[in-house]
Amino acid sequence: MEKRVVITGIGAVTPLGNDAHSTWDNIKNGVSGIGAGTIFDTDKVDIKIAAEVKGFAPEEFMDKKEARRMGRYSQFAVAASKMAAIDAGIQIGKDVQPERVGVWIGSGIGGLAEFEEQHRKFIEKGQRRVNPFTIPMFIPDMAAGQVSIELGAKGINNCSVTACASGANSIGDAFRVIQKGDADLMITGGTEATITEMTIAGFSNMTALSKNPDPQTASRPFDKNRDGFVIGEGAGIVILEELGHALARGANIYGELVGYGATGDAHHITTPAPEGEGAQRAMKLAIKDAGISPEQVDYINAHGTSTYYNDLNETLAIKEVFKEHAYQLSVSSTKSMTGHMLGATGAIEAIFSVLAIKEGIIPPTINYETPDEELDLDYVPNIAKKTEVQVVLSNSLGFGGHNATLIFKKFTI
d(CA 42, CA 48): 5
Residue type at 281 in one-letter notation: R
- Is 159 an annotated catalytic residue? no
Pick the CATH number of 260-409 from 3.40.30.10, 1.10.3720.10, 3.40.718.10, 3.40.47.10: 3.40.47.10
Instruction: Give, for all 413 residues of the chain, the pLDDT tens digit.
Output: 899 999 999 999 999 999 999 999 999 999 999 999 999 999 999 999 999 999 999 999 999 999 999 999 999 999 999 999 999 999 999 989 999 999 999 999 999 999 999 999 999 999 999 999 999 999 999 999 999 999 999 999 999 999 999 999 999 999 999 999 999 999 999 999 999 999 999 999 999 999 999 999 999 999 999 999 999 999 999 999 999 999 999 999 999 999 999 999 999 999 999 999 999 999 999 999 999 999 999 999 999 999 999 999 999 999 999 999 999 999 999 999 999 999 999 999 999 999 999 999 999 999 999 999 999 999 999 999 999 999 999 999 999 999 999 999 999 98
Let me know: does 138 contact 71? Beta carbons within 8 Å. yes
Q: Give me the architecture of the 5-248 domain, per CATH.
A: 3-Layer(aba) Sandwich (3.40)
What are the extents of the domains in the chain?
A: 5-248, 260-409
Query: Distance from CA of residue 253 to its chain's centroid?
Result: 20
Phi-psi region of 382 (alpha: psi -120 to 50; beta: other; left: phi over 0): left
pTM over 0.95: yes
Residue 361: per-residue pLDDT: 98
Query: Distance from CA of residue 180 to its chain's centroid?
Result: 24
Let me know: does 297 contact 392? Beta carbons within 8 Å. yes
Q: Is the fold of 5-248 the same as that of 260-409?
A: yes
Residue 1: per-residue pLDDT: 82
d(CA 81, CA 75): 10
Please state, in angstroms and as integers, the Cα–Cα distance from residue 86 to each residue in 11, 92, 106, 157, following that order. 9, 11, 21, 20
d(CA 310, CA 227): 11
Query: Distance from CA of residue 85 to its chain's centroid?
Result: 18
d(CA 391, CA 255): 10
Residue type at 398 in one-letter notation: G
Catalytic option among 85, 164, 230, 391: 164
CB atoms within 10 A of CB 48: 14
What are the strands, taking DSSP E only, across 185-254?
185-192, 234-242
Residue type at 355 in one-letter notation: L
